[in-house]
Amino acid sequence: MLIGIDASRAVSGQRTGTEAYTYFLIHALIPLAAARTHTLRLYFNQPPAADLFPDAPHVTPVIMPYLRLWTHRRLVQELQQHPPDVFFTPAHVIPFHYHGRAAATVHDLGYHHFPKAHPRRQLAYLKWSTRHNGRRAQHVFADSHTTKDDLMQFDGIPAHKIQVVYPGVDPDLRRIEDEAALTAVRQKYHLTSPYLLYISTIHPRKNLERLIQAYAQSGLPHQLVLAGKKGWLARPILDLVAKLQEPLAAKIILPGFVADEDKAALISGATAVLYPSLYEGFGFPILEAQACGVPVLTSTTSSCPEVAKEAAVLVDPLDTDAITEEMCRLVADEPLRQALIAKGYMNVRRFSWPDTAVHILNALENLS
């Protein structure tokens, strides 16, 4: 079987959720497809790095640089001229004029819950593209039951068409104990120990204003590290930090995007990872913390409890006082932290990219 995959999101130099999903899933699909004698055709909108994916006789890259509307003009042209048996888009949209058999992954519908957290044009495109994927695809993969429920509620996609397939976690993420490596990362990002860590995009949906307020009233000696690239509407969050009085303001560190090679050490050095997000279709930072042996505070809402299970402190993300209380409890209670670390190591075993790839490929085979 010839499987066409939109690999355009995998070439990003700064991988966040959907880019990481595409990158790791394709890596897991390549050996699995070889074992089952399938051919993969990977579509790129720009030349990928030479070592992005391993060279293999059953993998063909198709590089098609195009300035605007790559998906709906250039990719669709390629699919029409050289149609695969099945087309799969792991983190994007099925071309509008493509009529072959197709499958798509939908990651979240948070824009329905928090529409003001997106620019107007982006919001309109998100609504259209997700609805289009759900209705056009013969099979839809959802990252979580939260996303499946939202697809049914907001876009009317029938339940039988949607399969929940959990993503994996970066296999290179594991606890770093080497003090030299921990010190090097602290120095690189201008941190001092102890610190509490948030690691994701700086964006209103992540509930960072309440997290900052909760930290401000906690009185904890720790630094609060808000690591991640700035998203849309990040300015009010940055302004809130700037308005804090010294010495509190100096204890809140915004190091920007964290390189993949630094992530494990940065997480491992934290006392806890704080992730009280308002809405998540999946919530990779929860698993990243657990993989590195760090306790997690996260939300009672959306997919966060589904991902974290009993291996995290869960808090109402709208209750700033509750965030403060649980943050302080997590810092003060060493037995609680150790229990959460042990449970986290167990929980993270539920998520692996080889398992994700098996479920995805089984479904694609059934579409051919």
pLDDT in tens, 76-118: 999 999 999 999 999 989 999 999 999 999 999 988 998 887 8
Q: Are residues 332 and 206 in the same domain?
A: yes
Task: Indicate the pLDDT class of residue 13, thresholds 50, 70 and 90.
Answer: low
* In contact, 44 and 64? CB cutoff 8 Å: yes
pLDDT at 326: 98
Residue 62: pLDDT above 80? Answer: yes
| Region for residue 37 given its phi and psi (left: phi exceeds 0; alpha: psi -120 to 50; beta: otherwise) | left
Tell whether 114 is covered by a domain.
yes
Kindly state whether residues 158 and 26 are assigned to the same domain: yes
> Are 190 and 95 part of one and the same domain?
no
Asked if residue 65 and residue 201 are part of one domain, the reply reads no
Same domain, 27 and 141: yes
Total structural domains within the chain: 2
Residue 173 lies in a domain: no
Band the pLDDT of 122: cuts 50, 70, 90: confident
Give backbone dihedrals phi and psi of 34, rounded to 5 degrees, phi first: -65, -45
Biggest alpha carbon distance in the chain? 63
Q: Residue 55: give its domain's CATH number.
A: 3.40.50.2000
% residues pLDDT > 70 (the chain): 99
Q: What is the average per-residue pLDDT within 321-347?
A: 98
For the residues 7-11, what does the mean pLDDT come to? 92
329 and 187: one domain? yes
The answer on 221 and 262 residing in a single domain is: yes
Question: Which structural domain, as residue segments, surrounds residue 362?
Answer: 2-168+352-367
Q: How confident is the model at residue 66 (pLDDT cuts 50, 70, 90)?
A: confident
Render 126-168 in DSSP notation, one character per residue.
Answer: HHHHHHHHHHH-SEEEESSHHHHHHHHHHH---GGGEEE----
- For the stretch 184-215, pLDDT in tens is 999 999 999 999 999 999 999 999 999 999 99
Q: Other C-beta atoms within 10 Å of 110: how many?
A: 22
What is the band of 245 on the pLDDT scale with cuts at 50, 70, 90?
confident
In angstroms, the CA 263 to CA 260 distance is 5
Question: According to the model, what pLDDT value does residue 132 have?
Answer: 93
Residues 65, 104, single domain; the answer is yes
- The per-residue pLDDT for range 135-170, each reduced to its tens digit, is 999 999 999 999 999 999 999 999 999 999 999 999
Task: Name the band, by pLDDT with cuts 50, 70 and 90, for residue 253.
Answer: very high
- Looking at the structure, tell me whether residues 229 and 342 fall in a common domain: yes
Other beta carbons within 10 Å of 155? 18
Rounded mean pLDDT, 274-287:
95
Q: Which residue has the tokens 């690189």?
A: 188
Which residues in the chain belong to E strands, given as ranges?
Answer: 2-6, 39-44, 59-63, 86-89, 102-106, 139-142, 162-164, 195-199, 223-227, 252-256, 272-275, 296-299, 313-315
pLDDT at residue 244 in the model: 87
Contacts of residue 259, defined as CB under 8 A and 6 or more positions apart, other chains included, come to none
Confidence check: pLDDT of 16 > 90: no
Confidence of residue 232 (pLDDT cuts 50, 70, 90): confident
Whether 174 is in a domain gets the answer no
Specify whether 16 is located in the same domain as 120.
yes
The whole-number pLDDT of residue 118 equals 80
Q: Identify whether residues 47 and 65 lie together within a single domain.
A: yes
Residue 192 has which token pair? 């001092």
DSSP letter for each residue of 32-95: HHHHTT-EEEEEESSPPPTTSS---TTEEEEE---SS-IIIIIIHHHHHHS--SEEEESSS---
Confidence band (pLDDT; 50, 70, 90) for 11?
confident
Does residue 293 lie within any of the structural domains? yes
Average pLDDT of the chain, as a whole number: 94
Place 233 in a pLDDT band, splitting at 50, 70 and 90: confident
Q: Do 162 and 28 belong to one domain?
A: yes
pLDDT exceeds cutoff 80 at 14: no
The predicted model gives 338-365 an average pLDDT of: 97
Choose among 350, 301, 332: nearest CA to 108.
Answer: 301
3-state secondary structure of 195: strand
